[in-house]
Amino acid sequence: MVLAVALVAALVPGAAEACACGCDIFDLGATNAFPNSSESGWSAWLRYDFMNQDKNRVGSAYAPASTNADKAIRTSFYTLGAQYMFNADWGVMAEMPIFQRAFTSTGDGTAYPAGSIFTSNLTALGDTMVQGVYSGFSADHSTGLTFGLKLPTGNYTGPYVSPNPRLGTTGGLAYDRDTLPGTGSTDLLIGGYHVGFLTRDMKLSYFTQARYDVAFLERAGATGTYRPGNELDAAAGLQYNLGAHGPFQNIAPLMQILASYRDPDSGTAASPNSGFRRWLIGPGVALSFRKFTLYANVDIPVVDHVFTDVPASGNYGQLVPSAIWQVQLGYNF
């Protein structure tokens, strides 16, 4: 049996003066499963996430699109993950994401002509996460600790566009540091979770989890230094097992309540408009068929406050989505 534990928070990286940052939403959530004392061995999963950041936000309110040079960031995320439990107490997991991103913004005369609206497409590897799991605090293994690193495997240098005197461009990066798939930093990840049942028939279960992500090694890029903001995420949720129906051994609707706080980014290449605090709700469903488990959910922001700093240029705001979609197929070997 697998107990689902969840944490969903944050939004994906964005551009300078453009978007809310952070990718922790995808590697944590009801899609994550921690085995109980009866399980050991391998499990693997493939996850697809989609987000369209096309709403400009300042503080807790939406702002006119004209105040932000960046217009939209549409991203598909493909994540391959695996977990191995050595025994009932100890395990290790890893995830490797690939970003497929379309970034629409206004040229500033470097990579693209000043004032022009362009869309730059990028497919690249993101940052890999490696974490350990310890669940030996109690006999039922309902409480656990996760700890590990986010490694700087992702593209943090971006596509470079050569100078074009005919178009009046001097050459430069099409993406800002906080819009790229990789942060260039090595982060410490530490978290904990607790799962359990609320009914004697074990049909109604609950989960809670929290995790802290702090960067402690950074890499400078062509545009200067950059350090992503520290991020604290937490979640709680319910899942009800309806039992077997049709070809499925179990059908379980679920609901998550999610919270996140991220500090502003820092460094010479960081945006003055970064960081946020956010609450989301996430309805979904889990289906099991033999050794396969299929998760699907949508996360909707209900409280969304982004940190902004209005510069002299008047270009400000962060791009946020109205919903985040997720589907994951898992397999227990």
The alpha carbon of 187 is separated from its chain's Cα centroid by a whole number of angstroms, namely: 14
Which residues are CB-neighbours of 33 under 8 A, at least 6 positions away? 2, 3, 4, 5, 43, 293, 330
Gap between the Cα atoms of 292 and 173, Å rounded: 42
pLDDT for the residue 247: 86
Which residues are CB-neighbours of 202 under 8 A, at least 6 positions away? 241
Gap between the Cα atoms of 157 and 18, Å rounded: 18
pLDDT for the residue 223: 81
pTM (predicted TM-score): 0.88
Residue ranges with strand state E in the chain:
2-4, 33-35, 41-58, 61-62, 72-85, 90-106, 117-125, 128-134, 143-151, 160-161, 172-173, 186-197, 204-217, 231-240, 250-262, 276-289, 292-306, 318-332
pLDDT in tens, the chain (333 residues): 333 333 332 333 333 334 444 455 445 555 554 444 346 689 999 999 999 999 999 999 998 998 899 999 999 999 999 999 999 899 999 999 999 999 999 998 999 999 999 999 999 999 999 999 999 999 888 999 999 999 999 999 888 899 999 989 999 888 888 889 999 999 999 999 999 999 999 999 999 999 999 999 999 887 889 999 999 999 899 999 999 888 888 999 999 998 999 999 999 988 888 899 999 999 999 999 988 999 999 999 999 999 987 665 567 889 999 999 999 999 988
CATH topology of domain 2-332: Lipocalin (2.40.128)
Three-state secondary structure call for residue 202: coil
- Which residue blocks in the chain are alpha helix, DSSP H? 24-27
pLDDT for the residue 246: 84
Environment class of residue 60 by beta-carbon count within 10 Å: exposed (0-12), middle (13-18) or buried (19+)?
exposed
What residue segments make up the domains of the chain, in order of their start?
Answer: 2-332
